[in-house]
């Protein structure tokens, strides 16, 4: 009787040479799956390592390695002289019906068991992130003008001297020198009145909105949202189960009177006062004060998203609402991801004193803190004046790009596309003046990779206007002119 009769036959075990995994590992995996699936029944005896090695054409060490591991994990019982026996106790085995199923997991399974809030989160509709560099991609900074060498040097400086100070866990609220630099910058540049302790370093505006929604809103509570408005904010508040109440925007910004009439007891108002997204208007001072007064009286919160306020071309920017707030109702959010570059993942939220502790605790409980190295590099970049210089240069460059876009629209698309407010920011909204649907336009231009976005999906209620959101910060003046020509040729 040949030796192989001493154990079950195992043809399916043949390992694949040339694959990535070591042979003993492959053998171990296959044996384990065979045991778990029931292909190798409990108490069945395996061939000796010598026999199996011969049979499979591998070294005895390979088989020995696999058996040792299976032994350690309790899949085999090895006894000197009497070989190896499948050892998985019957009572511990998965039911046959399940184990016989193929290992691919989702295909045949029912819908995954998400929670109700999980379903809301998974359904959230977010604005497409600026991943492709296309002429009209909104919120895309001028990557071609970014001072890569200065940033690289700031990073390298800290990476080279990576000591315990920058390697151990950072504070959840953020790296103190960066918080100080942000507070100083916001005070002079944006009229934000805060001490550095009120500044929390986050990864993105989206994280700021998510934290605000979780900390300040319970399910079913109402939130004012500008109409049209920022999809990311809507996603954050709706994911949190809040009831979003659209409040129209006119030439002076949010219609505070309409908000007060429709949802006087809302718990929170989300606004983009310095440069309304997407319409580009500025919230007037009387409206600002009315909004603050409503929030004070209703004990509601105002989330001020100052996303691209640094770029203003005609007049000096209005200071932030936060600087006018004496009742401690404003949370001020800003981001470096639009001024520096999108993959940086550094943003900030300035909160009233009373909220510093709860927000810091929540940050710790939800994801910890931002990476220390990039925080330290950002602090250095600001302290050295590189940030202010970069802002100045971008303000000039974006003004030129904006002019080029507006000029090209006037020349190539007059009567078809009517630009809205364009005194600030990194995009302009152009309405379809002669009718038609923005969906059709974007679909027609899709293959040209222009990056224009539709206006109408940014409306929550009825009466959506048709138009295009055209970023101008990411492309050269010549690139923008060419893109407008392409766009107008495809006018349809």
Helix (H) or strand (E) holding 246, with range, is strand 243-250
- Residue 154 vs 405, nearer CB to a second copy: 154
91 contacts a second copy (rule: CB under 8 A): yes
**Closest approach of Cβ 417 to a second copy, in Å?**
26
Could you tell me which of 285, 350, 365 has the C-alpha nearest to residue 324? 285
Q: How far is the CB of 137 from a second copy (least distance, A)?
A: 9
117 interacts with a second copy by CB under 8 A: yes
Question: DSSP 3-state assignment of 299?
Answer: coil
Q: Is 96 in the site for a second copy (CB under 8 A)?
A: no
Count Cα neighbours of 465 within 13 Å in the Cβ-side half-sphere: 21
| 447 counts as binding a second copy under rule CB under 8 A | no
Size of the site for a second copy (CB under 8 A): 134
Span 462-481, contacts to a second copy by CB under 8 A: none
Helix (H, G, I), strand (E, B) or coil at 312: strand
CB of 463 to a second copy, least distance (A): 26
Query: For residues 133 and 129, what is the distance between their CA atoms, to the nearest angstrom?
Result: 11
Does residue 251 interact with a second copy by CB under 8 A?
no
Q: Give the residue with the Cβ less far from a second copy, 343 or 447.
A: 343
Least gap, CB of 394 to a second copy (angstroms): 14
265 touches a second copy (CB under 8 A)? no
Residues whose CB is less than 8 angstroms from the CB of residue 98 and which lie 6 or more positions away in sequence, other chains included: none
Which of 6, 8, 14, 36 binds a second copy (CB under 8 A)? It is 36
List the beta bridge partners of residue 46: 84
DSSP state of 424: B
Considering only residues 131-170, where is the footprint of a second copy by CB under 8 A?
131-133, 140, 143, 146, 148, 151-152, 155-156, 159-160, 162-164, 166-170
| Interface pick for a second copy out of 41, 289, 384, 389 (rule CB under 8 A) | 289
In the window 331-390, what residues touch a second copy (CB under 8 A)? 337, 341-345, 352-355, 357-359, 361-362, 364-374
Shortest spacing between CB 110 and a second copy, in angstroms? 9
The yes or no reply on residue 17 touching a second copy (CB under 8 A) is no
Between CA 217 and CA 116 the distance in angstroms is 17
Place of tokens 């990779």: 449
- Stretch near a second copy under the rule CB under 8 A, chosen from 290-298, 378-386, 420-428, 438-446: 290-298
Judge residue 300's burial from the number of C-beta atoms within 10 Å of its C-beta, 0-12 exposed, 13-18 middle, 19 or more buried.
Answer: buried
| C-alpha gyration radius of the chain | 30
What's the closest the beta carbon of residue 98 comes to a second copy, in angstroms?
A: 6
Q: Which residue has the tokens 């910890």?
A: 368
Which of 190, 300, 177 lies closest to 245 in space, CA to CA? Answer: 300
Among 1, 11, 79, 115, binds a second copy (CB under 8 A): 115
3-class state of residue 328 by DSSP = coil
Q: Does 80 bind a second copy (CB under 8 A)?
A: no
Residue number, 4 or 197, with CB nearest to a second copy: 197
Q: Which residues pair with 398 in a beta bridge?
A: none
Nearer to a second copy, 245 or 318 (CB): 318
- Decide the pairing of beta strands 222-227 and 268-271: parallel
Measured from the Cβ of residue 31, the count of other Cβ atoms closer than 10 Å reads 26
- Treating both helix axes as pointing N-terminal to C-terminal, what angle do 60-72 and 23-37 enclose, rounded to 10 degrees? 50
Interface pick for a second copy out of 187, 248, 457, 477 (rule CB under 8 A): 187
Residue 344 CB, nearest distance to a second copy (Å)?
6
């Amino acid at each position: 009787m040949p030796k192989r009769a001493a154990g079950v036959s195992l043809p399916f075990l043949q390992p694949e040479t040339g694959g990535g995994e070591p042979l003993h590992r492959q053998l171990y995996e296959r044996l384990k799956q065979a045991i778990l699936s029931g292909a190798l029944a409990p108490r069945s005896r395996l061939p000796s390592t010598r026999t199996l090695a011969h049979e499979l054409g591998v070294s005895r060490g390979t088989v020995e390695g696999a058996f040792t591991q299976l032994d350690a994990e309790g899949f085999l019982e090895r006894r000197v002289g009497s070989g190896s026996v499948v050892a998985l106790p019957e009572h511990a085995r998965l039911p046959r019906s399940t184990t016989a199923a193929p290992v691919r997991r989702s295909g045949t399974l029912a819908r995954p068991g998400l929670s109700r809030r999980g379903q809301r989160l998974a359904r959230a509709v977010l604005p497409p992130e600026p991943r492709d560099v296309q002429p009209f991609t909104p919120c895309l900074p001028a990557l071609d003008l970014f001072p890569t060498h200065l940033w690289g040097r700031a990073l390298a400086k800290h990476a080279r001297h990576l000591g315990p100070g920058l390697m151990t866990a950072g504070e959840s609220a953020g790296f103190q020198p960066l918080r100080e630099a942000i507070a100083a910058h916001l005070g002079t540049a944006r009229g934000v009145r805060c001490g550095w302790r009120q500044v929390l370093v986050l990864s993105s505006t989206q994280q700021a909105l998510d934290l605000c929604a979780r900390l300040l809103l319970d399910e079913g509570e109402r939130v004012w949202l500008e109409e049209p408005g920022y999809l990311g904010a809507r996603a954050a508040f709706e994911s949190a189960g809040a009831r979003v109440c659209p409040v129209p925007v006119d030439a002076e910004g949010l219609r505070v009177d309409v908000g007060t009439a429709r949802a006087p007891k809302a718990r929170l108002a989300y606004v983009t006062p310095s440069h309304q997204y997407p319409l580009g208007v500025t919230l007037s001072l009387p409206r600002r004060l009315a909004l603050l007064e409503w929030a004070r009286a209703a004990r509601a919160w105002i989330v001020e998203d100052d996303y691209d306020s640094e770029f203003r071309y005609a007049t000096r920017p209005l200071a932030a609402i936060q600087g006018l707030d004496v009742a401690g109702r404003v949370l001020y959010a800003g981001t470096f991801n639009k001024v520096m570059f999108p993959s940086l993942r550094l943003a900030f939220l300035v909160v009233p004193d009373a909220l510093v502790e709860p927000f810091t605790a929540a940050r710790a409980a939800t994801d910890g803190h931002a990476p220390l190295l990039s925080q330290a590099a950002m602090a250095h970049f600001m302290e050295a004046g590189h940030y202010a210089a970069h802002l100045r240069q971008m303000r000039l460059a974006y003004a030129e790009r904006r002019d080029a876009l507006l000029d090209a629209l006037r020349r190539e698309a007059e009567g078809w596309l009517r630009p809205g407010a364009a005194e600030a920011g990194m995009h302009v909204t152009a309405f379809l003046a002669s009718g038609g649907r923005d969906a059709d336009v974007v679909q027609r231009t899709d293959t040209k990779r222009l990056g224009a976005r539709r206006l109408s999906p940014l409306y929550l209620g009825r009466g959506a206007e048709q138009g295009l959101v055209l970023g101008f910060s990411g492309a050269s003046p010549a690139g923008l002119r060419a893109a407008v020509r392409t766009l107008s040729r495809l006018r349809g």
